[in-house]
Structure 1
């Protein structure tokens, strides 16, 4: 049985997440651009903080790319279809990961 998904619902979720990530990434960039403290101990802490921010920024960038790809699939009418096997992606998977490009079977193989 073919599942019916509300593409508009997922588009709203994806656009909201994209806006949230964009704001977060801008804040991270601003924090990374701040002048550094001259104190050696403070600089070490700041370097550790910068590494965490860069890691969060990298993860955010990857998710943003996946969201943009999902929005492209919506625009092309292929959202909800597995990019590998072409079978429908389960609604439960899309609810959990709206930018999922692969069905659970293909994602796990």
Structure 2
């Protein structure tokens, strides 16, 4: 675990950034600062914007889950090992995507 302390710190920072992003998205979706428009055209535009925000929120939550899982793998000593084949995940892949749980080969086969 000691070899991944820096990675763990980076993942914690990512988690904090994702939490901040989710708070902002949730705030925007609830229309706390700007009430919903009564004009139909404006309401339709706001609804489309809400759909985009919903998608971004779901993506952030999914990434947050992957980051939390990576931190758990570091803590359990399983970080850097492909969850499918058991081979080591290349350092370059972990640097590019620090929450990777699969090697490039397995991720490609799984469609990730």
Partner Cα separation in structure 2 for residue 95 and residue 36 of structure 1: 43
Count of paired positions: 105
**Which 4+ runs in 1 deviate beyond 6 A?**
none
| CA–CA distance in structure 2, aligned partners of residues 6 and 37 of structure 1 | 53
CA RMSD of aligned residues (A): 1.2
- The unaligned stretches of length 5 or more in structure 2 are none
What are the Cα deviations for residues 6-65 of structure 1, in whole angstroms up to 9, with x where unaligned?
Answer: 301211111111100000011100101113111111111101100100000011111011
1:12 aligns with 2:2: no
**SS of equivalent residue, structure 2 residue 82:** coil
Alignment of 1:75-86 (within 5 A): 75-86=75-86
Name structure 1 gaps, 5 residues minimum. none
How far is 1:86 from its partner? 1.0
The secondary structure found in structure 2 opposite 1:6 is: helix
